């Protein structure tokens, strides 16, 4: 997940484009997920969520709308409890009790990992490559083993987050597909996958590799194949304001990826605004009509229509290789209050309105 703030003083309003009508028939996808990694922190602040019947636990709302997978990020030694192993273990138990499955997102960092940031955890910073690989294997095996022991084995494990330029820098950093350091990067990927497999003795977990764009993914996964890295799912981020806005073009690229690599395709991160307004004093990532796909205005129905069309694109991938999507941070409302400058940069991209009531976009989980 990449963060680029949009100043709230620069919001532009233009007449909305008429949105195509939303139908009740949505494409069937195996996974209809939500990254709810912020939820323990949001709940700890006393935030209440609502659906049409009144106050309800957020997980219950997602489950009732049809969400069947929750993505959870894991940091190695974060500055506080959030996204730490104890929090993740406890949260996964709550997810399992709510009747949903788990996508575990290893960042292999003490903080955010994305194409521009892949800081090696402080505890591993001085290790040689060989010892680092062994540490990655042991750590991954331990985490998955703990999840297995509490009956919350993930359905999918993502080894690394948005690893366009590698991970665990500088040991696993790459600047392109011809970088000589791909051998070391691939070695770290293999080490992490080996740890998952060592704990998952029944081979129930699918391995995802996550690239932070649709464009460029073909070259990346070609290099992955050249290094013989074993994996099951191509995971991609797709945010229209940071990528190509033409969904037909995106569909063509996804079809080509499926045809070339014969792997399942999963949109691991996506989102779309339901308004260009805001609910706290934290600058938002999206606040201008130029960031939108013209056919889908920033309205509650526009958010739903965008997700419906993305599902249609995924369902159209040949051989049923389009397996699902995960909406990033649909719960990240302005939970610190309207005056907060360190609150949410995402409240207009959440799936709850400014009163924390579930939006029509939730229907996309059906």
Residue 162: active-site member:
yes
pLDDT in tens, 28-54: 899 999 999 999 999 999 999 999 999
Q: Which pLDDT score is estimated for 15?
A: 34
Residues of the chain with pLDDT under 70: 1-27
Q: At what angle do helices 129-149 and 85-97 cross, to 10 degrees?
A: 30
Q: What CATH code is carried by the domain that includes residue 161?
A: 3.20.20.80
pTM as predicted: 0.93
Contacts of 170 (CB under 8 A, 6+ apart): 120
Looking up tokens 């690989």 gives: 133
Domain-embedded: residue 71: yes
Cis status of the peptide bond prior to 170, with omega within 30 of 0: yes
- Pairwise CA distance, residues 366 & 356, whole Å: 20
Domain-embedded: residue 2: no
Catalytic site residue from 87, 162, 213, 264: 162
Contacts of 27 (CB under 8 A, 6+ apart): 311, 312, 314, 315, 316
Contacts of 200 (CB under 8 A, 6+ apart): 144, 148, 153
Contacts of 80 (CB under 8 A, 6+ apart): none
Domain-embedded: residue 3: no
- Pairwise CA distance, residues 280 & 19, whole Å: 28
Q: Which pLDDT score is estimated for 19?
A: 41
The total number of structural domains in the chain stands at: 1
Domain-embedded: residue 146: yes
Range of the domain at 289: 8-365
Residue 244: active-site member:
no
Q: Which pLDDT score is estimated for 20?
A: 41
Domain-embedded: residue 246: yes
Domain-embedded: residue 276: yes
Domain-embedded: residue 251: yes
Domain-embedded: residue 285: yes
> How crowded is residue 316: how many other Cβ atoms within 10 Å of its Cβ?
12
Catalytic site residue from 87, 213, 264, 269: 269
């Amino acid at each position: 997940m990449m963060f680029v703030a949009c100043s709230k003083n620069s919001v532009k309003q233009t007449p909305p484009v008429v949105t195509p009508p939303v139908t009740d028939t949505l494409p069937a996808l195996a996974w209809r997920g939500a990254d709810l990694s912020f939820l323990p922190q949001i709940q700890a602040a006393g935030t209440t969520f609502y659906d049409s019947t009144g106050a309800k636990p957020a997980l219950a709302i997602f489950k009732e709308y049809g969400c069947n997978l929750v993505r959870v990020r894991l940091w190695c030694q974060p500055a506080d409890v959030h996204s730490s192993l104890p929090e993740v273990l406890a949260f996964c138990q709550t997810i399992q009790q709510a009747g949903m499955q788990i996508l575990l997102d290893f960042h292999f960092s003490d903080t955010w990992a994305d194409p521009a940031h892949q800081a090696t955890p402080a505890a591993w910073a001085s290790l040689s490559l060989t010892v680092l690989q062994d540490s990655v294997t042991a750590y991954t095996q331990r985490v998955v083993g703990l999840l297995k022991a509490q009956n919350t084995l993930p359905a999918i494990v993502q080894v690394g987050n948005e690893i366009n330029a590698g991970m665990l820098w500088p040991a696993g950093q790459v600047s392109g597909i011809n970088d000589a350091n791909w051998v070391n990067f691939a070695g770290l990927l293999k080490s992490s996958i080996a740890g998952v497999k060592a704990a998952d003795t029944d081979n129930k977990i699918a391995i995802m590799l996550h690239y932070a764009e649709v464009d460029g993914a073909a070259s990346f996964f070609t290099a992955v194949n050249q290094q013989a890295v074993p994996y099951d799912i191509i995971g991609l981020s797709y945010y229209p304001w940071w990528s190509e806005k033409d969904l037909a073009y995106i569909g063509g690229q996804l079809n080509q990826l499926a045809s070339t690599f014969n792997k399942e395709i999963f949109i691991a991160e996506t989102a779309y605004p339901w308004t260009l307004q805001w609910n706290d004093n934290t600058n938002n990532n999206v606040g201008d009509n130029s960031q939108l796909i013209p056919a889908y205005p920033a309205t509650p129905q526009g958010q739903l229509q965008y997700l419906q069309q993305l599902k249609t694109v995924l369902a159209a991938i040949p051989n049923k290789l389009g397996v699902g999507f995960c909406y990033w941070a649909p719960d990240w409302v302005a939970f610190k209050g309207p005056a907060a400058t360190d609150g949410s940069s995402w409240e207009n991209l959440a799936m709850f309105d400014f009163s924390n009531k579930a939006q029509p976009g939730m229907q996309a989980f059906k």
